[in-house]
């Protein structure tokens, strides 16, 4: 198992608390998930900045250095407990291609069948050995069918269709983001959400309740989308109603 963390905020924010200082920060949890870490931070002006290492986050000085500068409007971060693939930086999440970034918690066993659903171009872009990177390539294969001017509703439908076709392949809890929005899907692994209405407002997703705030468990099977405009909110793309 691994641990996911995703945050989107109304304006640029320091992410160090959830990464390093909170009771169940990624640094603290990395003692049990020691096989690498990755931090992706998005700002409107710079896009994604991604840093990764195959070392345990708590014992890695580079993790502290990256956290000190982890300030932006969207965060996708991950600590790894490996199941498929070596302990190597190319197998660390989040994975990035173009405007999209992806992190996964779970295990897919039928990877040969999954590969058959991925376009040759996206397979060529796979650099590591993980099932997680294959899921990302599979989702991108679906997103590649959209035009550059596709509406958010069309993107929602495409991702929802791709997720539905993953049923039976294993546990596929993930975060997927283009910086502007975050998609969060729960299937087979824990996932929680938290809405902060302070200044600035924020929406958080995590594999565990990182802080002692009133986190809510995301329903199994749900695909959610967080948007920043016109107001910060969680939208249900599919899945069981509350």
Q: What predicted TM-score, i.e. pTM, was given to this entire model?
A: 0.95
**Confidence bin at 239 (pLDDT 50/70/90):** low
| Predicted confidence (pLDDT) per residue in 187-202, tens digit | 999 999 999 987 789 9
Structural domain count, the chain = 1
Res 223: pLDDT: 97
Strand partners for 177: 101, 182
| Residue 213 burial (C-beta neighbours within 10 Å; 0-12, 13-18, 19+) | exposed
| Predicted confidence (pLDDT) per residue in 81-117, tens digit | 988 888 899 999 999 999 999 999 999 988 899 999 9
Res 214: pLDDT: 95
**Confidence bin at 242 (pLDDT 50/70/90):** very low
The answer to whether 112 and 66 have CB atoms below 8 angstroms apart is: no
For 173, the domain range is 3-238
**What's the Cα-to-Cα distance from 35 to each of 53, 56, 153, rounded to whole Å?**
9, 6, 37
- Both tokens of 29, joined, read 């949890």
| Predicted confidence (pLDDT) per residue in 108-153, tens digit | 988 899 999 999 999 999 999 999 999 999 999 999 999 989 999 9
Angle at 39 between CA 147 and CA 186, to 5 degrees: 65
Answer left, alpha or beta for residue 106, where phi above 0 means left and psi between -120 and 50 means alpha.
left
| Predicted confidence (pLDDT) per residue in 15-69, tens digit | 999 999 999 999 999 999 999 999 999 999 999 999 999 999 999 999 999 999 9
Neighbours of 102 (CB within 10 A): 24
The average pLDDT across 209-216 equals: 96
Q: How far apart are CA 26 and CA 198, in angstroms?
A: 23
């Amino acid at each position: 198992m691994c641990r996911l963390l995703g945050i989107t905020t109304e304006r640029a924010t320091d992410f160090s608390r959830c990464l390093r200082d909170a009771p169940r920060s990624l640094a603290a949890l990395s003692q049990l998930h020691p096989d690498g870490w990755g931090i992706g931070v998005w700002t409107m002006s710079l896009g994604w900045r991604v840093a990764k290492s195959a070392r345990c986050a708590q014992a890695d000085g580079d993790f502290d250095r990256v956290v000190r500068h982890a300030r932006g409007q969207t965060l996708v971060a991950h600590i790894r407990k490996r199941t498929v693939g070596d302990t190597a930086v190319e197998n660390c999440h989040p994975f990035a291609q173009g405007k999209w970034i992806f992190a996964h918690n779970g295990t897919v066993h039928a990877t040969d069948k999954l590969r058959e659903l991925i376009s040759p171009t996206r397979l060529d872009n796979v650099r590591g050995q993980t099932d997680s990177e294959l899921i990302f390539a599979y989702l991108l294969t679906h997103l590649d069918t959209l035009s550059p001017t596709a509406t958010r509703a069309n993107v929602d439908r495409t991702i929802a269709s791709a997720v539905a076709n993953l049923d039976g392949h294993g546990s596929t809890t993930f975060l997927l983001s283009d910086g502007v929005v975050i998609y969060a899907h729960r299937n087979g692994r824990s996932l929680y959400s938290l809405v902060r209405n302070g200044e600035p407002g924020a929406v958080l997703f995590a594999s565990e309740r990182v802080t002692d705030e009133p986190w809510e468990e995301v329903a199994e099977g749900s695909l959610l989308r967080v948007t920043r405009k016109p107001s910060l909110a969680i939208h249900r793309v599919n899945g069981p109603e509350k």
